[in-house]
Amino acid sequence: MVVLNFIINEIFGQGAIFLALIAMIGLLLQKKQFSEVVRGTMMTAIGFFVLSQGTGIITGNSIDGLAAAFNTMMPAANGKPDIDMSVYGTQIGIVMLIAFAFNLLFARFTKWKSVFLTGHMLYWFPYVFIAAGVDAGLTGGKLIGLATIFTAAYMVISPNLMRPLVKEVTGDDSFTIGHPTTVLSLISGYLGKVIGNKEKSTEDIKFPKSLGFLREVSITGSIVICITYIAMFFILKANGLVPGEVWGYAGGKTGIFTFIFTKAIYFGVGVTIMLLGVRMLIAEIVPAFKGIAEKVVPGAIPALDCPVIFNCAPNALIIGFIVAMITSTITIILTAGMFPTVIIPLTFTCFFEIGCASIIGNATGGIRGCIVGAALSGIIMVFLVGFGSYFFGNTINNWMLVYGGQDFSLWGIVEGAIARLLH
């Protein structure tokens, strides 16, 4: 158990360590010089931390206020707190290790060659599948077995489905995406092929000389977040709430101007740091992974976190985020009372998963593919969370209201239905 817990918590559970270890193994297999191995290993970890800091600033210092506002305006989800999933830590770890081993074997002996390397998702998928099984009443071997099958299947199927779409975005086939954006990205990508024109890209939008600063995604994103917070300020007041109390600046030395300005600029800071981390991580992990692809798993490519394609179409990312927030909010209003839970706009899913889907929609269908893909994804996201509440209502429903609405919800619903049949 000591060894198992070390592997789970200190290696698989730490994205920087996990990816640095992968890079080191890949470089050693290529028989690189000592200095190159040290450099590649360290720069992979540094790149990961830079990327993580960027995403952390976006979620924890910028759009977190929007989530807080929605949470305040909406009543409690269903009156049930989430259960303590830490008691299932061993089961989650066992599922994670077995599923990853299966992924390696599958990549070694079949034509589906992706290796799932998104560290935190290696943990979150077993977490979701164990929760769905527990909600259905499964225990012991049935619980671990079903969660392992679904986790392994996801690690194999999802990145390989994403592979041709990522190639549309990047123009090469050196990596794919291992992230719960898949269902939304597939819809957006293939819908874009049907209705759009990839020659008319969001990245080719022409601005007048006087508005040339809008070409900088960090500036554009900051302006969008600023406008969103201003709108949310008046929405809170219209609902009889005090924005200063909701956002925590009431009674302090600063007021709404400083609060909104800071949140907006933090978004630009986060995007800038995140894109820098993306470039650093890709520059190190892809070449290093060639050693594993050549020696251990011939032809393999890494499946990485979704922000690795954000620098390919930053305009599409921002446009998709805005459109998804609008369509998901409208859908929530129209479906009020339909599900056994109160749904709030999922700001994190709108930015990361639907942002990724929008970039893919832009690659296959240009501006139209980006907008329509994001709009439809925003609607689908709400229904996935709503129907998912039937399968997570007794375990992690509140967690899913923040981080669901994509593959977590879809695959969790399927697994939950099967778990009920087994039970």
**What pLDDT, in 10s, does the model give residues 106-128?**
999 999 999 999 988 999 999 99
pLDDT at 1 over 90: no
Dist. CA 140–CA 269, nearest whole Å? 46
Look up residue 390 and give its two tokens.
Answer: 């039937």
Look up residue 102 and give its two tokens.
Answer: 């299966």
| Total domains, the chain | 1
For residue 270, what pLDDT band results from cuts at 50, 70 and 90?
A: very high
For residue 78, what pLDDT band results from cuts at 50, 70 and 90?
A: low
- How confident is the model over 368-382, as pLDDT tens digits? 999 999 999 999 999
Name the residue with higher pLDDT: 74 or 306: 306
For residue 420, what pLDDT band results from cuts at 50, 70 and 90?
A: very high
Q: What is the CA angle 312-317-321, rounded to 5?
A: 170
Q: What confidence score (pLDDT) does residue 12 get?
A: 79
For residue 217, what pLDDT band results from cuts at 50, 70 and 90?
A: confident
Dist. CA 383–CA 17, nearest whole Å? 36
pLDDT at 304 over 60: yes
Question: Average pLDDT, stretch 129-154?
Answer: 96
In three-state secondary structure terms, 239 is coil
Q: What confidence score (pLDDT) does residue 388 get?
A: 95
Closest CA to 280 of 43, 6, 31: 43
- From residue 238, alpha-carbon distances to 234, 242, 255, 388 in Å are 6, 10, 19, 31
Q: What confidence score (pLDDT) does residue 114 get?
A: 95
pTM, full prediction: 0.88
DSSP secondary structure of 301-362: EEEE-GGGGGGG-HHHHHHHHHHHHHHHHHHHHHTTTSSSS-----HHHHHTHHHHHHHHHH
Domain region containing 189? 2-422
